[in-house]
Structure 1
Amino acid sequence: MRIKCLFWGLLRIFSLLFLVCSCSTGEVAAQILGTSSAAPVFLACRAVSGTEIDFEFSLPVKVVSLSFSPSIAVESIDEGSIVRVNFAAGLEPGERLTADLLAEDENGNTINVLTPLRTRNERLPRLLINELRTEYSKPKAEFVEFKILEAGNLGAAQVFIAGNSKKPLVYEFSPVEVAAGDYVVLHLRSTEETNRDEYGSNLSESGGVDSAPNARDFWVFGSEKLLRKTDAVYVLNQDDEVIDAVLLAENPASFWSKDYLANAADFLYQKGAWKTAGEIMPEPKDAVITGKTTLTRSICRDETAADTDSPDNWYITVTGGAT
C-alpha cells in the first residue's frame, strides 16, 4: 500500500515537472497565479481638442493617479485602452505640459507614464515661408522668415529642416498670439547674449544685429549649422499636415545627393505641399535654385503673387537686398 502511494506521488511530481518544463515563463505565471503576466504598454498621447487629451495603451486600464505640470484641474476621466482626460475649461493653445500617469489593468499590472505633450491648438493661422538666408558670418545668422496670413496662435507649430537629418525638428513654438500681416523671424543660431525669444508684446525685446523691431524674433539657441543651399524647410501642425514648405537646391542636378533630401521631397509632394509639372517626385530641377544666394542675397518670396507651391514664387535678391 505504501509502495502504491509512493508510486502515485512520484507520478504527480513528474507530471507537474513536465507541465512546468513544457510552458513558457508567462504561461507558468498565469497558471500558478491565475492571472496574465502581460503588462499594458503605453503607445501614444495626443491632445484631441481644446478640452481633451488621450493616452493610448495596448490593454484597457484604469487610472490610479494623474497629475500635470503646470497643474491643471481635471473634470473627468474615461478609462479603457484609450484613457480620455476631460478638462472643464479650454486649455491655452499649444501649451507644453508634462503628464504623470499611473495606470493599472484588470490583473493588477501597473504602468507609470511620464511624458511631455502639447495642448491642442485649434487656432493655428495660415502662414507662408517668406524669406530664407542659408549663409552665416557672425553675427549674421541663417534665418527663416514667415508671413502671417490671419490672426491666430502659433503654439505647437513645428519647423522642420530636412538637411539637419539627425534632428530635423529645429523649433516648436510656444503659445503666442499673432495678427494678419505680422512677420515672424526664426534665427537658426544664436550669435549674441542679447538674443531673446519675443513671446510678449515688446517686439524690441531681443537684441542683436539681425533683430527686427517690426517683426517677432525667435532663436534656435546654439551654434550648429541647420540650413543649407540644398534643403527642404516645412512647417507642420499637430495633425502632421504641411502648413507651408519650400524646396531648395544649389544646382539643378538629376537627383538628390542624399536619401533624406529625396525622402523630404517625396513627403512634400505626397502632402501636396510642393508641385511639379508631372506626376513624379520633385527633383532638384523642380526646387528653388539657390546657387547665387549669399550672405547679402537672400532667397525671397514674391509677395505680390499667389502661392503656387513651386519655384515660380521665389527669386534671389540683389546684393544687399536681404530684408
Structure 2
Amino acid sequence: MKDLQPPVYTGLEQPGRGSLILKFNEHIKFDSDDFAACGGFEISGIEQADQTSLLLALNGDDLPGEELTLEGRVRDDTGNELWFLLPFYSVNINPAQLILSEFITEHSSSRYEKAEIVVLREGNLGGITVYNGAAGDHKSCLRFQDQEVEQGEYLIVHFRSDGLAGETDEYGEDRILAGNSATAPNAIADVRDFWTEGDQGLSDTNGALSIYASPAPGAEILDAVLYSNRSYEEGQDYGSFGTSYTQRVMNELAGAGAWVYSGDQIIPEDCLRSEDSTSTRSICRDLEFNDTNGKNDWHIVPTSCSSFGHENCQDVYEP
C-alpha cells in the first residue's frame, strides 16, 4: 500500500545560540528555498543532521529569550509533504541565577499578592519565566525580556494589578518607573517591579510558584515553592489537594525533582504549611538562601515584618 502519511514533526533541540535541530519521525528531504525566518534572525544554512533531522544555522540580532518563528516544508521518500510554522525561543547564553526569596498569597485593599526573587549570580533575564503554577498548568505567568541584572538585585513579581498606567515592567536602567508613586501603590521603590499576564491573584492557601529557564517545552526548573493548608485523607479525590488543577501542578513540579516529598506521591503535608500566612505575614527564606527544595527552607514572619526589596526578616511567627 502506498504511503500517504506526511512526516511528523517530533521536536527540536538548540545546541547553542545560532543553531537549531528539527526532528521528524521518518527519513526526510528538503529544499532550502522552502524555509523562511520570521523575527530577528536569518537562516544561513541547512543540512541533514541525520536521516530524520535537520540542522539549521541561524544568525541575526535576536535578543536572549526572544520568541521567534520558523516556517518550512519537508517531504518523505514518497513525496508526502509537511508544511509547518514553528515558534521557538532564542537561547540565553548567560542566564542569571535566580531564587524565590519571599512571597504573600493573600491580598487586602492595600497589599496584593507578590513574590520577591533574588539574583544569586549576575546574567541576563531573557526568556526566564515565572509561573503561578507550573509550565504545564498555570493561571498566570511572566516571561522576562532581555535585561542584564547584577548579583544581589531584588526583582518583585506582582500577581494582581489595578490596570494603572504606573504598573510598568521596569527594564533598562530606570528602576523607579513604577516606584512608590500614586499610580502604582503596590510597587516597591528602588527595585525592579514586574506584572504577570493572566488570571489575577494567587491561591490563598493551596498552590505553587515556579521559575523555568525558558517557556520552551522541557525547560529546566530553576526554583519552585509548593504550599498548602490541606490534609491528606486516604481515598480523597485529587490527592487531597482539592482540585485536579492543583494536583497536576504539584505532580509536575514534584515529579521533575523541584520539590521533595516523603512517600510514593506528593501530599499536602509535604508542602510548606501556609495556614498562618496573611497579607501582612509573608513567607520567607533564611538569609543564606538555603535551597533543599523542601518546606524547611521557609518560615512565616510576624505581622508587619514583610521585607520585599530588602533583606529578609528572620523572626518566625508564633501563633
1:219 aligns with 2:219: no
CA contact (8 A) 1:230 1:248 kept: yes
1:196 aligns with 2:172: no
Number of the residue aligned with 1:74: 43
1:56 to 4, 23, 36: 23
The alignment partner of 1:123 has SS state of coil
Q: Which AA in structure 2 matches 1:150?
A: R
CA contact (8 A) 2:134 2:249 kept: no
1:1-323 to 2 correspondences below 5 Å: 27=1, 30=2, 36-59=3-26, 60-63=28-31, 64-79=33-48, 80-88=51-59, 92-138=63-109, 140-162=111-133, 167-168=138-139, 170-191=141-162, 192-206=164-178, 208-221=184-197, 224-238=200-214, 239-254=218-233, 255-276=240-261, 278=262, 280-304=264-288, 306-322=290-306, 323=308
Query: Structure 1 180/71 Cα, relative in aligned 2: closer, same or farther at 3 Å?
Result: closer
1: CA distance between counterparts of 2:42 and 2:208? 41
Shift of 1:279: 5.2
Query: Structure 1 149/248 Cα, relative in aligned 2: closer, same or farther at 3 Å?
Result: same
CA contact (8 A) 1:51 1:90 kept: no
Shift of 1:178: 1.4
Shift of 1:187: 0.8
Q: Please tell me whether Structure 1 or Structure 2 has the larger radius of gyration of its CA atoms.
A: 1
Greater displacement, 282-291 / 247-256: 247-256
CA-to-aligned-CA distance 1:158-181 (integer Å, 9 cap, x gap):
223338985456222222211111
| Matched-pair identity in % | 25
Shift of 1:99: 1.7
Q: Which AA in structure 2 matches 1:99?
A: L
2: CA distance between counterparts of 1:273 and 1:164? 12
CA contact (8 A) 1:148 1:180 kept: yes
2: CA distance between counterparts of 1:221 and 1:274? 25
Shift of 1:150: 0.1
- Unpaired stretches in structure 1, ≥5 consecutive residues: 1-26, 31-35
Q: Which AA in structure 1 matches 2:10?
A: L
Query: Structure 1 295/113 Cα, relative in aligned 2: closer, same or farther at 3 Å?
Result: same
1: CA distance between counterparts of 2:89 and 2:251? 28
CA contact (8 A) 1:163 1:231 kept: no
The alignment partner of 1:204 has SS state of coil
Shift of 1:231: 0.9
Shift of 1:242: 2.0
Shift of 1:52: 0.7
Q: Which AA in structure 1 matches 2:99?
A: L
Bigger RCO of structures 1 and 2 (CA < 8 A, at least 6 apart): 2
- Unpaired stretches in structure 2, ≥5 consecutive residues: 234-239, 309-319
The alignment partner of 2:302 has SS state of coil
2: CA distance between counterparts of 1:217 and 1:287? 27
CA-to-aligned-CA distance 1:112-131 (integer Å, 9 cap, x gap):
21222101223222221111
2: CA distance between counterparts of 1:223 and 1:273? 24
Shift of 1:51: 1.4
Identify, as 1 or 2, the structure richer in helix.
1
* CA RMSD in angstroms, aligned pairs only: 2.8
CA contact (8 A) 1:50 1:91 kept: no
Shift of 1:157: 1.8
Query: Structure 1 93/275 Cα, relative in aligned 2: closer, same or farther at 3 Å?
Result: same
1: CA distance between counterparts of 2:143 and 2:91? 14
1: CA distance between counterparts of 2:134 and 2:99? 20
